């Protein structure tokens, strides 16, 4: 059973390879967001995303025989960049399958670590990765539906509680659920009073729809500016964890998502992807109930975005 013990073990394994990212008290955003704002800045993590945590924990836990033919990962970009970094570290071949709409900055990042990139429609990326695995003997490094991945991402939660034990809320973007399942487990099993709120695009609200039905659902493909969190269905492993530990899930309208990154950059002076700043966008709409004295941590999960992409949304 997945627990905080798995996350603590992951922290022991990966801590020497990653950065303990800063928890920034960003008072300048308090009045705009209606709370005491803290930023968990995974934008400054190696590979500029939290994804390296899970990729490291997974790949350094594998037998060398599982790595000898290489690895393959389906990704919207950030997971692929993390896998590529770890593959280079371990001197193994990596192939990353990305949507054909993936921003060039993410593709460039993946290739900078020596990995090969295969493009396809985003709804087909897992099928393509499975085919490559079967044809070439590559081991699949799943982006979220894997307990080692979830444990690696959960180290963020351990760091938040270590730096601010009395945090009232932690706001987390949701894609397949690897990040929020790990973070919520770390926090709830160490300090149950902290509330966990997940944020997803209204256009691709797979967790909201799944909880309404009582089981995971598969949504039809949709385009969204939140390109990093467009998974069609919750992961089988994260889903029950999210159901157990996440207090609330909020959706954000498509035309509001970009405002999170714009505000974080223009007012907070931090640059983040649209997907990772979606919690800021939700707070600006007062979509989750926090008070002005509430200590609220926004997990800003990635910074692989160009300034031009943000400026285009202004």
DSSP state of 221: P
pLDDT computed for residue 18 by the predictor: 97
pLDDT computed for residue 74 by the predictor: 97
Range 27-45 average pLDDT: 97
- Tell me: do 78 and 172 sit in the same domain: no
For residues 254 and 202, the answer to whether their CB atoms sit within 8 Å is yes
What is each CA distance from 287 to 243, 266, 274, in whole angstroms?
20, 21, 17
- Label residue 28 exposed, middle or buried (CB < 10 Å: 0-12, 13-18, 19+): exposed
d(CA 283, CA 82): 29
Going by C-beta distance under 8 Å and a sequence separation of 6 or more, which residues neighbour residue 247? 195, 196, 197
| CB crowding 176-196: b at 16 or more within 10 Å, else e | bbbbbbbbbbbbbbbeeebbb
pLDDT computed for residue 96 by the predictor: 98
Going by C-beta distance under 8 Å and a sequence separation of 6 or more, which residues neighbour residue 127? none
Residue with tokens 């692989």: 304
Joined together, the tokens standing for residue 12 give 């022991």
- Tell me: do 114 and 158 sit in the same domain: no
Range 127-144 average pLDDT: 97
| Cβ neighbour number for residue 294 with a 10 Å cutoff | 16
d(CA 134, CA 234): 24
Instruction: Tell me, yes or no, if the pTM score tops 0.75.
Output: yes
- Tell me: do 41 and 154 sit in the same domain: yes
pLDDT computed for residue 122 by the predictor: 87
Query: Is 90 exceeded by the pLDDT of residue 11?
Result: yes
DSSP state of 27: G
- Tell me: do 74 and 223 sit in the same domain: no
- Tell me: do 101 and 117 sit in the same domain: yes
Q: What is the pLDDT of residues 261-273, one digit of tens each?
A: 999 999 999 999 9
- Tell me: do 175 and 274 sit in the same domain: yes
Q: What is the pLDDT of residues 153-183, one digit of tens each?
A: 999 999 999 999 999 999 999 999 999 999 9
User: What is the domain count for the chain?
Assistant: 2
Query: Is 80 exceeded by the pLDDT of residue 288?
Result: no
pLDDT computed for residue 10 by the predictor: 98
- Tell me: do 110 and 226 sit in the same domain: no
Quote the domain boundaries for residue 282. 4-49+147-311
56: confidence class by pLDDT, cuts 50, 70, 90? very high
Q: What angle do CA 192, 57, 127 make, to 5 degrees?
A: 105
User: What is the CATH number for 171?
Assistant: 3.40.50.1100
Range 140-162 average pLDDT: 98
- Please report which residue ranges of 60-93 form alpha helices under DSSP H: 64-67, 78-90
pLDDT computed for residue 287 by the predictor: 74
Q: What percent of the chain has pLDDT over 70?
A: 100
pLDDT computed for residue 191 by the predictor: 76
């Amino acid at each position: 059973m997945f627990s905080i013990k798995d996350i603590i073990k992951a922290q022991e394994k990966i801590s020497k390879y990653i950065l303990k990212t800063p928890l920034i008290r960003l008072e300048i955003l308090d009045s705009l967001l209606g709370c005491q704002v803290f930023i968990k800045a995974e934008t400054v993590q190696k590979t500029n995303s939290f994804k390296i945590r899970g990729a490291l924990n997974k790949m350094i836990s594998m037998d060398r025989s599982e790595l000898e033919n290489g690895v393959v990962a389906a990704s919207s970009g950030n997971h692929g960049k993390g896998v590529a970094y770890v593959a280079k570290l371990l001197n193994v071949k990596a192939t990353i399958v990305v949507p054909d709409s993936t921003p060039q900055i993410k593709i460039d990042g993946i290739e900078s670590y020596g990995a090969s990139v295969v493009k396809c429609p985003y709804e087909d990326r897992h099928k393509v990765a499975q085919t490559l695995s079967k044809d070439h003997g590559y081991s699949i490094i799943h982006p979220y539906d894997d307990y080692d991945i979830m444990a690696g991402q959960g180290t963020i939660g351990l760091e938040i509680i270590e730096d601010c034990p009395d945090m009232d809320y932690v706001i987390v973007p949701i894609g397949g659920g690897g990040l929020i399942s790990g973070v919520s487990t770390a926090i709830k099993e160490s300090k149950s009073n902290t509330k966990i709120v997940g944020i997803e695009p209204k256009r691709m609200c797979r967790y909201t729809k799944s909880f309404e039905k009582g089981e995971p659902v598969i949504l039809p493909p949709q385009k969204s500016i939140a390109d990093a969190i467009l998974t069609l269905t919750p992961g089988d492993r994260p889903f029950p964890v999210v159901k157990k530990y996440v207090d609330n899930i909020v959706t954000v309208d498509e035309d509001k998502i970009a405002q999170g990154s714009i505000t974080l950059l223009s007012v907070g002076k931090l640059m983040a992807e649209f997907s990772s700043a979606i919690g800021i966008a939700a707070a600006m709409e007062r979509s989750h109930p926090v008070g002005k004295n509430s200590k609220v941590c926004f997990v800003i999960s990635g910074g692989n975005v160009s300034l031009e992409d943000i400026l285009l949304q202004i």
